[in-house]
């Protein structure tokens, strides 16, 4: 008997290679297994291009002259239900039916309304054996951004901050002081490359003058988002250097020019995080990192609109400062990043 979980874990590893490149699509990995031997691998590499299943099948054809015969005797493993509708690419379920694969093993159903069971039904109607639910929870976790967007109509929200060893977030007054080391900075830039957007408040933009890019990592820059109610931020800030698309949520005006988008929110002081997330959802933003400052972080925490928090703790002790946010949940992950520690929380 094949060990379905071993093959599905490999699919999950492949799926994560697409993180940061396929949004707002889900990340998906696929394997083709013939008599307990992997003969093809694939993952969704880039939005608008081939999905995982066609990439895995193409891998078989590239490696074996008798690929068509092998596929008829093979099992295809995939982390998410094969799509059944025409989008930017043809339906993956149709491709599997065309090649008459023997079996398809699926980790979890696709919650998108145009799929949601239809892909599996199409496979079974064609006489293909389908096994569902292999590492289902792990697959949903890997695709938690996509599931949040589809099921809750908002981006997946990641809070991120650094605090001192005695729990201070920032110095008092308008000054900047680093808490973590270079290793944490590199990790933070990698995270930015994996998410669609990163957000800060006006005070953080003014005091820290962040670039919010991935200059210490390889990958594409996220959308930069700042909350600036009165449009008071000066134009010389890095946020306005056109290095990446910048969105300014404000109470004054809406105006789109080149890579700068001003978006006015009605009733700005009411349900601000909800309104921001709704607007980003309409723009197909699937994930958002909230990097500060303290007022902005607490805004999302108090609204309960966060899914994950990544908290660095440095080694320095300060005599005074602004208290870091406090989360009333049990941490799930702890690890060391250089000389700093990282704690990850999930809002279940």
**How far is the C-alpha of 346 from the C-alpha of 348, rounded, in Å?**
6
CB of 42 within 8 A of CB of 53? yes
**From 41, 53, 163, 291, the catalytic residue:** 53
* N- to C-terminal Cα separation, the chain: 36
pLDDT at site 116: 78
The mean per-residue pLDDT over the stretch 267-282 comes to 96
Tokens of 173: 């007054």
**How far is the C-alpha of 177 from the C-alpha of 282, rounded, in Å?**
36
Q: How confident is the model at residue 282 (pLDDT cuts 50, 70, 90)?
A: very high
Q: How confident is the model at residue 87 (pLDDT cuts 50, 70, 90)?
A: low
Query: Angle formed by the axes of helices 272-282 and 294-302, to 10°?
Result: 90
Lowest mean pLDDT among 42-51, 107-116, 196-205, 328-337: 107-116
pLDDT at site 336: 97
Considering the chain, what is the average pLDDT of its residues?
95
CB of 338 within 8 A of CB of 178? no
Express each pLDDT in 35-65 by its tens digit. Answer: 999 999 999 999 999 999 999 999 999 999 9
Respond yes or no: is residue 137 known to be catalytic: no
Taking CA atoms, 25 is separated from 61, 80, 108, 132, in Å, by 25, 11, 15, 21
Contacts of 43 (CB under 8 A, 6+ apart): 14, 15, 17, 18, 27, 28, 29, 30, 52, 55
> Which helix H or strand E contains 56, and what residues bound it?
helix 52-63
Residue 165 has pLDDT above 90, yes or no: yes
Residue owning tokens 């809406």: 254
What pTM value is reported for the model? 0.95
Q: How confident is the model at residue 1 (pLDDT cuts 50, 70, 90)?
A: low
**How far is the C-alpha of 311 from the C-alpha of 168, rounded, in Å?**
12
Query: Angle formed by the axes of helices 4-15 and 52-63, to 10°?
Result: 110
> Can you name the residues that pair with 130 across neighbouring β-strands?
104
Contacts of 130 (CB under 8 A, 6+ apart): 103, 104, 105, 106, 120, 123, 124
Express each pLDDT in 111-141 by its tens digit. Answer: 887 777 889 999 999 999 999 999 999 999 9
The mean per-residue pLDDT over the stretch 314-329 comes to 94
pLDDT at site 207: 93
Residue owning tokens 């940061």: 20
């Amino acid at each position: 008997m094949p060990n379905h979980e071993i093959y599905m874990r490999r699919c999950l590893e492949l799926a994560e290679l697409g993180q940061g490149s396929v949004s707002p699509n889900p990340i998906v990995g696929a394997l083709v297994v013939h008599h307990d031997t992997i003969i093809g691998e694939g993952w969704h590499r880039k939005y608008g291009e081939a999905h995982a299943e066609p990439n895995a099948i193409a891998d078989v054809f590239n490696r074996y002259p008798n690929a068509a015969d092998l596929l008829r005797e093979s099992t295809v493993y995939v982390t998410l239900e094969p799509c059944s509708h025409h989008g930017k690419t043809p339906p993956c379920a149709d491709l599997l039916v065309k090649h008459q694969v023997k079996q398809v093993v699926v980790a979890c159903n696709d919650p998108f309304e145009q799929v949601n069971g239809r892909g599996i039904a199409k496979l079974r109607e064609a006489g293909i054996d389908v096994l569902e639910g292999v590492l289902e929870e792990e697959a949903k976790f890997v695709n938690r951004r996509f599931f949040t967007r589809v099921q809750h109509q908002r981006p997946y929200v990641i809070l991120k901050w650094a605090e001192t060893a005695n729990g201070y977030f920032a110095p008092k007054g308008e000054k900047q002081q680093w808490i973590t080391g270079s290793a944490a900075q590199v990790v933070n830039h990698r995270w930015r490359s994996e998410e669609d957007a990163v957000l800060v408040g006006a005070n953080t933009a003014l005091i820290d003058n962040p670039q919010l890019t991935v200059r210490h990592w390889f990958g594409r820059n996220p959308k930069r988002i700042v909350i600036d109610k009165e449009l008071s931020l000066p134009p010389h800030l890095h946020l306005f250097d056109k290095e990446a698309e910048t969105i300014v949520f404000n109470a004054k005006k809406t105006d789109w020019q080149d890579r700068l988008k001003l978006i006015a929110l009605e009733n700005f002081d009411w349900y601000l995080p909800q309104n921001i997330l709704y607007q980003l959802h309409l723009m197909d933003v699937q994930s958002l990192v909230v990097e500060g400052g303290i007022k902005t972080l607490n805004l999302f925490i108090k609204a309960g609109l966060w899914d994950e928090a990544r908290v660095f703790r440095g080694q320095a002790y300060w005599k005074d400062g602004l208290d870091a946010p406090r989360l009333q949940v049990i941490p799930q992950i702890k690890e060391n990043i250089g000389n700093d520690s990282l704690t990850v929380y999930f809002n279940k």
